[in-house]
Amino acid sequence: MKHFEQSKLLNKLPKQFFASLVKKVGEVVAQGHDVINLGQGNPDQPTPDHIVKSLQDAAGNPSHHKYSPFQGHSFFKEAISTFYKREYDVDINPDTEVAILFGGKAGLVEIPQCLLNEGDTVLVPDPGYPDYWSGVALAKAKMEYMPLKEVYHFLPNYEAINPEILADAKLMFLNYPNNPTGAVANSDFFRKTVELANQHDICVVHDFAYGAIGFEGKKPLSFLQTPGAKDVGIEIYTLSKTFNMAGWRVGFAVGNESVIKAINLLQDHMYVSIFGAIQEAAATALLDPQSCVDDLVELYEERRNILVQGLHEIGWEVTSPMGSFFAWLKVPDGFTSEQFADKLLYEAHVVVAPGIGFGSYGEGYVRVGLLTSTDRLKEAVRRISELKIF
């Protein structure tokens, strides 16, 4: 059989750090061990019944068995506009300020290809979601990292960025509530972001994947709530986390008209559109009462509290996340993040994600997902306690 070489472009894609973690976990599971996996970001709860029922009903509609409109159904875009007005008091024009996405990840990877030329500069958070790097690589652009440090509440310190880099930058990725740190942004930070973007002609892409998940009664802010935000950027929202629809692959971008137009143009050449019945179910999720979302946030907060309290009781001093379904935990002295993750995996059969997998400033931390039952979280704490590290 002939072997066809991969393109230079594919060979330049970033290596998938977490593939090695998945392999390690698989080997331990194959040995028959009971593994508690806190290293993934895959929601563990089912999609709410009323959304599933909406899909089931819509799937029988023959009009959905044909190709959907290239840029999505107007009823879904209108639902998105209604959702943003209701939740954030942000006005969105459904005709010109919405792009339907095959999940939020698709938009995040597409956007550099829409706006950048080879060699252009992109500002990315470190630590950050690794798929930002993939989109930059596909656009043959170059990354400059914005360190997220605890001393600055895991917000980038714009004053520390080299002025020459700011002058060259064309695009900036932000993500709050943040993966992996669980940090949230405030209105003052977003205001400074708009000022910086205006000053340097930078397009801001705010990844709002965890937008529904804020704790202690504090609802996360949308970037688009900031005056002038639509002039300088977009926000990417996914239904994966808010409504436990990760497998459905549906999301959207909202904001700056020229950026939305570019996304739609690229997608016109790649796809037709998402199955109409999924769009109908997604509209149901956005428009119907949000009690299922409130219940989900309450569940994650309960899990957060149990985990953090348990870790404090065994002597691991950690900070509670204020948003997302992740906790960002400092590694004890004497370990790298990968060494500590390996120790937990092989000796306690507890999986955590090493911080180094999210960027060099992730070293010294591990990411824990609040995506299993409270009983399993308590058991994970018990197993870690038995290692006598703390």
Asked if residue 240 and residue 191 are part of one domain, the reply reads yes
Asked if residue 218 and residue 94 are part of one domain, the reply reads yes
Pairing mode, if any, of strands 353-354 and 365-369? antiparallel
pLDDT of 25 > 90? The answer is no
Q: Where are the alpha helices (DSSP H) in the chain?
A: 8-11, 17-30, 49-59, 74-88, 104-115, 131-138, 163-168, 187-200, 229-232, 239-242, 257-268, 276-287, 291-313, 337-343, 374-385
Dihedral sign of CA atoms 271, 101, 276, 49 in order: positive
pLDDT of 17 > 90? The answer is no
What's the Cα-to-Cα distance from 351 to each of 33, 272, 354, rounded to whole Å? 12, 39, 9
Asked if residue 87 and residue 140 are part of one domain, the reply reads yes
Q: Is residue 112 part of a domain?
A: yes
Q: Residue 85 belongs to a domain with what CATH number? A: 3.40.640.10
- Digit-coded pLDDT (tens) for 278-324: 999 999 999 999 999 999 999 999 999 999 999 999 999 999 999 99
- Digit-coded pLDDT (tens) for 247-274: 999 999 999 999 999 999 999 999 988 9
Q: Residue 339 belongs to a domain with what CATH number? A: 3.90.1150.10
Q: Is residue 325 part of a domain?
A: yes
Say how far apart CA 176 and CA 232 lie, in whole Å.
Answer: 17
Asked if residue 160 and residue 62 are part of one domain, the reply reads yes
The four Cα atoms 274, 277, 278, 282 give a dihedral, to 10 degrees, of 120
Using the 3D structure, point to which of 226, 254, 287 is the last residue of a domain.
287
Asked if residue 113 and residue 91 are part of one domain, the reply reads yes
Q: Is residue 131 part of a domain?
A: yes
> How would residue 15 be classed by pLDDT, with cut points 50, 70 and 90?
confident
- Write down the pLDDT at residue 345: 94
Domain limits for position 352: 8-46+291-385
Pairing mode, if any, of strands 142-147 and 121-126? parallel
- Write down the pLDDT at residue 19: 77
Asked if residue 220 and residue 130 are part of one domain, the reply reads yes
Asked if residue 299 and residue 220 are part of one domain, the reply reads no
pLDDT cut 90: percent of the chain above it: 91
- Write down the pLDDT at residue 18: 76
Q: Is residue 1 part of a domain?
A: no
Helix (H) or strand (E) holding 367: strand 365-369
Q: Please, which residues have CB within 8 angstroms of residue 307's CB and are 6 or more apart in sequence? A: 327, 368, 370, 377, 380, 381
Q: Is residue 2 part of a domain?
A: no
Asked if residue 189 and residue 92 are part of one domain, the reply reads yes
How much is the mean pLDDT over the chain? Answer: 95
**204 residue type, one letter:** V
Asked if residue 241 and residue 161 are part of one domain, the reply reads yes
- Write down the pLDDT at residue 250: 97
pLDDT cut 70: percent of the chain above it: 100
- Digit-coded pLDDT (tens) for 201-243: 999 999 999 999 999 999 999 999 999 999 999 999 999 999 9
Q: Is residue 390 part of a domain?
A: no
- Write down the pLDDT at residue 194: 98
Q: What average pLDDT score do residues 359-364 get?
A: 96
Q: Where are the alpha helices (DSSP H) in 142-238?
A: 163-168, 187-200, 229-232
Q: Is residue 340 part of a domain?
A: yes
> How would residue 41 be classed by pLDDT, with cut points 50, 70 and 90?
confident
Nearest CA-CA partner of 224 in 77, 97, 79, 72: 97
- Write down the pLDDT at residue 22: 84
Nearest CA-CA partner of 347 in 359, 360, 335, 358: 335
Asked if residue 75 and residue 40 are part of one domain, the reply reads no
Whether the CB-CB separation of 192 and 157 falls below 8 Å is answered with no
- Domains held by the chain: number: 2
Asked if residue 124 and residue 39 are part of one domain, the reply reads no
Using the 3D structure, point to which of 236, 254, 287 is the last residue of a domain.
287
Nearest CA-CA partner of 14 in 105, 110, 135: 135
Say how far apart CA 357 and CA 363 lie, in whole Å.
Answer: 8
- Write down the pLDDT at residue 20: 78
Q: Is residue 3 part of a domain?
A: no
Using the 3D structure, point to which of 261, 287, 313 is the last residue of a domain.
287
Asked if residue 211 and residue 269 are part of one domain, the reply reads yes
- Digit-coded pLDDT (tens) for 107-162: 999 999 999 999 999 999 999 999 999 999 999 999 999 999 999 999 999 999 99
User: Reading across the β-sheet that carries 142-147, which strands appear in turn?
Assistant: 98-101, 251-255, 233-238, 203-207, 169-174, 121-126, 142-147
